[in-house]
Amino acid sequence: MKRVLIILALVLFPVSAAHVAVAAGFFKVGEPAPAFALTSITGDPLSLEQLKGKVVVLGLFHICDPCMMQGTNLQKVHEAVAGKNVAVVGINSSGNSKRDVGEFLSAFPVKVSYPYLLDPNKITDKLYGGGKFIPNVYVIDQRGVIRWQRVGNMELAGAEVILQEVEKLLASAPGGPGLM
């Protein structure tokens, strides 16, 4: 049994390390967030430019269980930052239809009340390095610069962790009170 575990570790470690290395290539912390302009599932247009001056928590999702879990975490963030200079935005970056995205959102364990955008041309998937590394969560500062990101494994991107990152940016804003 011990021998099997050693063999598994030797096989799985390089695969896991390669996955992390490739995902790390998508990290854009310190770079300007790529601009986008999309329409929400409710028909409202929204662009990243419209959100300048706010801390933005951006989630890029497909229709999958990990994306549902992270979308639920973003709802917790959205509720925690109500009334603050923060915008929480979700994007279906895989080009799914409005109907499919609506069905997906209706299956969430919570009602999603933050803007959830449709991206039929998969623009954000390309701009933000999505694709097979989903979900992606970004925290963007008030000037439009990516300050924090998690790709794929969302165990390290729960609502509490995201809120800590948002709090740092709110605290550093001139005259901006934090969440606490």
Contact 145, 33 (CB under 8 A): yes
Please state which CATH class domain 29-172 belongs to.
alpha beta
Instruction: Supply the pLDDT for residue 164.
Output: 94
More confident residue, 118 or 1: 118
Residue 169 pLDDT level (bands cut at 50, 70, 90): very high
Dist. CA 29–CA 17, nearest whole Å: 20
> What ranges do the domains of the chain cover?
29-172
pLDDT above 60 (res 34) = yes
Mean pLDDT across 17-43: 74
Dist. CA 30–CA 158, nearest whole Å: 21
Instruction: Supply the pLDDT for residue 26.
Output: 55
